[in-house]
Amino acid sequence: MKFELKNHITKAVALALCSAFVTTAQAAPTAISGFGTTSATIDDAGYFSPSGALGLSFNGREFVNLGTFASNWSLYDSSGPVAVADSVTGTNPFSTISYSVGGGSVSVTTNLGSSGWSLLETVSIPASGHVAVQIQLTNNTGFDATDVQWSVGVDPDQGVPGGVGFGTTNVILGSGSAAAVQATSADGWSLTLANTTSAGAFDVAGYVDPFSCCSPVSPVTIFSALQAGSQGFSDSSINLGFNLGTVYAKSDLALGHSNTVTFGYEYIMAVPEPETYAMLLAGLGLIGFSARRRISA
């Protein structure tokens, strides 16, 4: 229990800390770590930070801060995009920010410009190789918001040490409550972006961008594509889309409706299985043997 308290933070404590640490929109990125294996650096826009050596790492392997560093999220409603945060362009839609760190997690509370929405994002490390994100959206617009959707994406550039390029084998593992998308490097290190929201709460879908490694993907695109299974080998972003339905106005609270919606997802990093290592070493051995034969010839 003592270890858990060190590496976790409850929602109530996160909210209390948020009120005590207030910064501008350009606060320094903040690193969190846990279990001696896992770390993440969070920018105050809520995405993985493009500055510094580490963005998302496990067992000494970096998973995003290589090649073109791409991490983003988007909020849409029936009228179109409400807010988009993009590490490539440095886009930060936040206006006022409360930013807190403690207990192995970081929390960002913000108002989304003049949109009337507010957001609480809490990023923590609940287990070795896991970086969890919880999003709480609150509708303060004064109107019911319909067709509310959220998307989140990252370019999995774990690469191969000494290798060239950042392609991964990309697979949609499931949809709905089991929605997850996985990217595996040529030497077997995998990054999975998985839904953690309660079963049946919302529509959730995974997506591999066939066009770009590094641009935000709208949730509208994700739900119109409805991909499944293997998406091949490419340098592509992996994404999740959340269809959140209607988020009511505060004036509807008396009718039993809520103006707040909460959902979550995890980045899960894994090392290759021993047999994968064996196959890789065998392949490298064959390459070396072939090279020696060509030199001898």
Residue 183 CA: distances (Å) to CA of 3, 80, 169, 189:
30, 29, 5, 8
Residue range 113-138: average pLDDT? 93
Question: Could you tell me the pLDDT band of residue 3, with boundaries at 50, 70 and 90?
Answer: very low
pLDDT of 231: 97
Alpha-carbon gap, residue 276 to 285, rounded angstroms: 14
DSSP label at 248? Answer: -
Residue range 252-276: average pLDDT? 88
Contact 263, 202 (CB under 8 A): yes
Residue range 34-46: average pLDDT? 92
53 has pLDDT over 70: yes
Smallest Cα–Cα separation from 268: which of 108, 125, 166? 125
pLDDT of 200: 80
Smallest Cα–Cα separation from 223: which of 246, 197, 195, 243? 243
Question: 3-class DSSP state for residue 73?
Answer: strand
Question: Could you tell me the pLDDT band of residue 190, with boundaries at 50, 70 and 90?
Answer: very high
Tell me which of 1-10, 54-63, 132-141 is least confident: 1-10
